Structure 1
Amino acid sequence: MKSVEEFLVYAARLEQEAALRFDELADAAGSFENTEVADFFRQMADYSRMHLEEARKRGGFHDLPEIPPGEYAWPRLESPEAAAIWAADPQMDVSMALSVALDAETNGLAFYQGVLDGTDDPEIKAMAAEFVEEEAEHVAAIKRWISRAAA
């Protein structure tokens, strides 16, 4: 990341795409009348929208530059926190949904950790550390849900 503005644009886009994907998965599960999974994915989409708003607020007085969707330099083809599209499976159960969510949140955590480890800019480092902490909490929460579901 070359600037705080760029970091914030990436953070906002990551959360926006996570919310969109979780909404798509919720819609797919709902179309198969799999309400428990649909409700879970909708909850994850809501969390992503809350984090999107947090990322936007953190921008404060910064003018956030526009980056065309095809020009983001994600580690993979799409945003790290966009859940796997294969999760639109009609046979999806809550356990599988939790696994998909864990994978998405773990990828988000790895992205922010990579930013933290790869920058010398103290302001970017401070913000990335906050995002790492938040994503680590999300990963831990999903792991707790997985443990409860297994019990």
Structure 2
Amino acid sequence: MPTTKVALFLAHSIALEVEAGDRYEELADVMEVHNNPEVAVLFRQMSDFSRKHAQSVQERAEAFQPLPELKSWEYRWNAPEPPEVGDFTGTHYLMTPFHALQFALANERRGWEYYNNMAADSPDPDVRSLAGAFAEEEAEHVKELEEWLTKVPRPTADWAEDPDPAAVID
């Protein structure tokens, strides 16, 4: 029989991955609206990766049903948002694939940190074991993104140099 702590940890893990997938999808939509299809495709890929990881966590959670159904204010993160959800201020409609990958890498590092801390700090041995496995998966994601970053061109211009600034209406 699952412990409440394991079920609670799994509920958080699923929410973390689902929210990351949703946010990447929103960013992809924004990039499409601003005619930045290359970055939109990249964010859709990141959304797919997050959704696949959420599915993997859900499959592991089958043995621990039912999971608690938490309200948004009941989640406990080490930040205001789930760890893999980046701050939108780190994005811009002129961002390049390099910028998008840096954004995603920062998110994955926060995800690794969350799971790694849970693996180190939880008093529950089952949570520590699961969190350790999830931290290893996140470490792989970090490594993949670091490798991917070496293969995309570094931008020569800053996105603050907007060739088509917004019109100011008096």
Q: Indicate which of 26, 29, 32 corresponds to 1:27.
A: 29
Equivalent residue, structure 2, for 1:14: 16
CA distance in 2, matches of 1:121, 1:89: 41
Once the two structures are superposed, what CA deviation does each residue of 1:28-67 show, in whole Å capped at 9, x if it has no partner? 1111111110000000000100111111111123210011
Partner in structure 1 of residue 139 of structure 2: 136
1:51-100 alpha-carbon deviations (Å, 9 max, x no partner): 11111111123210011011211111110101221244111111110110
Q: Cα RMSD over matched residues?
A: 1.6
Q: Give the unaligned 5+ runs of structure 2.
A: 155-170
- Which residue is equivalent to 1:46? 48
Contact 1:87 1:97 in 2 (8 A): no
Letter in 2 for 1:59: A
**TM norm structure 2:** 0.84
Alignment match, 2:5: 3
Q: CA deviation at 1:150?
A: 4.2
Amino acid at match of 1:33: N
Point out where structure 1 has 5 or more consecutive residues left out of the alignment: none
Q: Spell out structure 1 runs of 4+ moving beyond 2 A.
A: none
Bigger mean CA deviation after superposition, 116-125 or 140-149: 116-125
Secondary structure, in 3 states, of the residue corresponding to 1:77? coil
Q: Which has the higher helix share?
A: 1
- Deviation of 1:125 after TM superposition, in Å, equals 1.2
Query: Aligned equivalents of 2:44 and 2:119: distance in 1?
Result: 30
Of structures 1 and 2, the larger Rg is shown by 2
Question: Deviations along 1:97-130, whole A, 9 cap, x unmatched?
Answer: 0110001000000000110010132211111111
Give 1:86's match in structure 2, choosing from 86, 89, 106. 89
The number of equivalent residue pairs is 151
